[in-house]
Structure 1
């Protein structure tokens, strides 16, 4: 990922550090990329481009983003700052608080980074979370990286007057069904690997918090740290066949990160979103084979050779041979489009093109390719291996 030389010219100002009375642990509230005038006037209006909608001071919110330096929060925080909100990112400070995005001008990046504050700490240090958040006070919390309900309780305790808690959940909480797509009212699976997110939603509801929960399906786009489109791009660039489990007609769904970020903004202060859950993803579904072809089209590669295989005939150990769950998995976004004045701007090919041109196509990616499982499959590909597969989701 690209960082800019502008970052080295920024400075950190340690506003206050505290020692927890019980644990003796120290925590530092560090405000990053700001001038002294900004520290003295946190709720000033943002500079708007000519002709843009002006945001009044009364509509500006003091917003805490839990996370915000990896993927979703990178795009969300830019939208919030552009709308005139005061944005503080809560992170451990192990990664740069802001980085210049591919395609982002120096001026755009400078304006954004000069307005972002940073609260340095570990969200699992519950005592520090309580003391630091209660001292600062926030109107709204965007929780992008919360995984367990226990991580959310101290935030709620620290902010009893919180106006809204906006949570990034997952469509993975749904119970498998023979009647897709998933709707927000569908049964959930308390044993899913996302049960922590499900328990967090229950906590928010039980505490009477004005919350909104967003359930994305598969997310893709520039800076994606999950091997979704990158997995296909690596194989396409290497001119290798694409191994796809079973028949390849399994149906799934992807949503672009920029569309997701806009949905997060649409629920802010929206009375229709109060104590509601929304599925957010792309408007169309796609088969595994179709996704391989869409990635090829987005990157300007020839249509790929697709090799189908039966996963039960292989022992891949701990390695993951394919980046998607081998089943139908998709959700309806009808409720969000109806209630939030939101709809995806990217179709799948244009979204994958955006991802490729701003990330992989520039030579940046999160992981080096590993074709170990591919070679196991291809070595056996001379034998027919197609089998029937479950259509549950």
Structure 2
């Protein structure tokens, strides 16, 4: 297939592009051109500039667009206008952050959306993105809603944050009682999910959760990473010892659930994670250890202050 990929050079985009190239698709990237990717064709434009986008896409047509970096309804509308009806199918990477506070945990696709309060504008904006794509006139369209995306190429300091503390023998401080529950999606499994949808492209627009179905609590996550690294771990639940400090000031996640029931996508498209989550975490731990990303020390004064209240 002849595919247009919006973005493609970031963590999520590269995972999608790798999967598409492995499947033999013809891949054209449209981004600001900072990081070319071998095996792809490059169009250079800032997606926030309608004139530049129009110029880059003038006379271009594709079988489908895969949008990996859309963060507002306006960005979605600008792209759809520049495509000019010449691309029949569309996939956009959305987020589990679209689910409203009233949604059951873990939410299914029929749960109320609009963005949870913990996610601020991000959840609201991703909801807008889905709505614009839903009304974009595509023959076939889908919004994939992953929760936390993990992998050895993660450019967000999450898995490495835990592993640095575990490797240094530092305590891992966990917000509250450590009961927040997370779903994860490995970068390669996201790429496989995109390919699976492209294989069928059913008519109409739908939103689907995509995740490894194993729920992991905030306490279980460092336990699993420590086991993957073959090291002991000292986990301390913080309770109210952090005072007014927000979890994100000293911890890589919020103290809220982040999960999305993937059953519907699994059943509809026959997709499943290629490996159990424990194996994926072991792969990540090995990669980060080999790349020395776990050797730096970034223990903070705030962590030290919180720990002093627990001892």
Report the TM-score, using the length of structure 2 for normalisation.
Answer: 0.90
Deviation by residue 1:295-352 (Cα, 9 ceiling, x = unmatched): 10112212x1111113574343796222222123322110011011101122221111
Q: Which has the larger radius of gyration?
A: 1
Asked whether the equivalents of residues 174 and 182 of structure 1 are also in contact (C-alpha less than 8 Å), the reply is yes
C-alpha distance 354-198 of structure 1, shift in aligned 2 (>3 A): same
CA distance in 1, matches of 2:200, 2:240: 45
Match of 2:300 in 1: 371
1:197 maps to which of 117, 126, 130: 126
Deviation by residue 1:15-37 (Cα, 9 ceiling, x = unmatched): xxxxxxxxxxxxxxxxxxxxxxx
Pairing of 1:201-216 with structure 2 (within 5 A): 201-209=130-138, 210-216=140-146
2:107 maps to which of 175, 182, 186: 182
RMSD: 2.1
Deviation by residue 1:100-137 (Cα, 9 ceiling, x = unmatched): xxxxxxxxxxxxx2x21111221111111122113332
Pairing of 1:329-340 with structure 2 (within 5 A): 329-340=258-269
Q: Secondary structure at the match of 2:310?
A: coil
Match of 2:230 in 1: 300
Match of 1:147 in 2: 71
C-alpha distance 87-178 of structure 1, shift in aligned 2 (>3 A): closer
Match of 1:90 in 2: 30
C-alpha distance 172-254 of structure 1, shift in aligned 2 (>3 A): same
C-alpha distance 368-74 of structure 1, shift in aligned 2 (>3 A): farther
C-alpha distance 228-238 of structure 1, shift in aligned 2 (>3 A): same
Match of 2:239 in 1: 310
Q: Secondary structure at the match of 2:166?
A: helix
C-alpha distance 175-379 of structure 1, shift in aligned 2 (>3 A): same
Deviation by residue 1:234-271 (Cα, 9 ceiling, x = unmatched): 11121100001121132221111111111011111524
Match of 1:70 in 2: 10
Q: Secondary structure at the match of 2:212?
A: coil
1:327 maps to which of 256, 259, 282: 256
C-alpha distance 307-142 of structure 1, shift in aligned 2 (>3 A): same
Match of 1:125 in 2: 49
1:341 aligns with 2:270: yes
Q: Secondary structure at the match of 1:278?
A: strand
Q: Unpaired runs of 5+ in structure 2?
A: none
CA distance in 2, matches of 1:146, 1:178: 23
C-alpha distance 214-178 of structure 1, shift in aligned 2 (>3 A): closer
1:136 maps to which of 60, 69, 73: 60
CA distance in 2, matches of 1:232, 1:318: 14
Match of 2:285 in 1: 356
CA distance in 1, matches of 2:240, 2:63: 49
1:282 aligns with 2:221: no
Report the TM-score, using the length of structure 1 for normalisation.
Answer: 0.72
Q: Secondary structure at the match of 1:77?
A: helix
CA distance in 1, matches of 2:141, 2:251: 35
CA distance in 2, matches of 1:197, 1:317: 23
Pairing of 1:104-115 with structure 2 (within 5 A): 113=38, 115=39
Give the helix-richer structure, 1 or 2.
2
C-alpha distance 204-179 of structure 1, shift in aligned 2 (>3 A): closer
Q: Unpaired runs of 5+ in structure 1?
A: 1-60, 99-112, 383-393
Match of 1:81 in 2: 21
Number of corresponding residues: 304
C-alpha distance 292-122 of structure 1, shift in aligned 2 (>3 A): same
Asked whether the equivalents of residues 171 and 215 of structure 1 are also in contact (C-alpha less than 8 Å), the reply is yes
CA distance in 2, matches of 1:299, 1:139: 43
